Structure 1
């Protein structure tokens, strides 16, 4: 009797491990399709057919539009040998405004990232918030899209700026006048104190650097 209990327990344990591995494989397949920042929760998963010791999963449903997914199981030779049915919940990180913002207000300190089920296709990436300002008046709680933000100009046309040049570990600075407006990383024309026109990269507020 004790042997029967032990064997039964081992079988259930083995099945549980196999189920956990399959669930993890489904999560990885969906996350690979949608992006590493996507949170995937698998509520149900079941295999139709015997799973080989080593396998890969191939999505045959679109996780962007469907919660019930079908995945083809391929063995180490690439042959389709079974199917997996899964029910998933996909949560996508979005940037949400935490207080009202008027057009031109900086946004980096007025937002938080939240996972939601249905995100707009043109959602803004949290990494793109540096130097971002509101492109229009926005209300608290809004999910930010690329239409809601624009890059702040760190240099304005005719603005006095600091122009830097790095040579052999030495940094030389001088005053100059911007001839174009630009955001961080933009290349703009500037006029030096010697009345020469050069191109420089916008690196900070009122600061450019000669490449």
Structure 2
């Protein structure tokens, strides 16, 4: 039997979000969104979150520096994943990265959520030339850790739900998350050269 070929994965973080695409991971993107439900009285009541991220061999020890924080809203902030070469993802294999979000407000506390989404779902669409599926998202499995705490534990894409932090997101606080994107071992040759965008979307609102 011919072995399954790699697909392409592209990741990003937007609005407080991160996205990934295909069976080969080429880039990541971050976006964020923040809203305030209080009357504003000047710059001290500004409410905003910013994002950062890294993929590659050094991701497990990466900590964002002051100059690496970016706005992910309205446009997603892309993270280089593997330079010019696509990062191959085979059935049962995974790619790892680290993403971060910061409450960039001077004094406002927020409530933080993380959603993992497919920003451009193509469902069961087939490639007219090969007859293979073109969409990879539903064949992915996600794990998200914050330090020693597992926030999302090996959850298939079609079972994902938004994660909501119970504790307030304090002004100046940073959260650093280790992300693993795995391709299901059950994916066969029907997903050869499939691709997707995976969006890790952070949202924050003042309580």
Bin of the TM-score, shorter chain as denominator length: under 0.3
TM-score normalised according to structure 2 size:
0.20
TM-score (norm 1): 0.20
Larger Rg: 1
More helix by share: 1
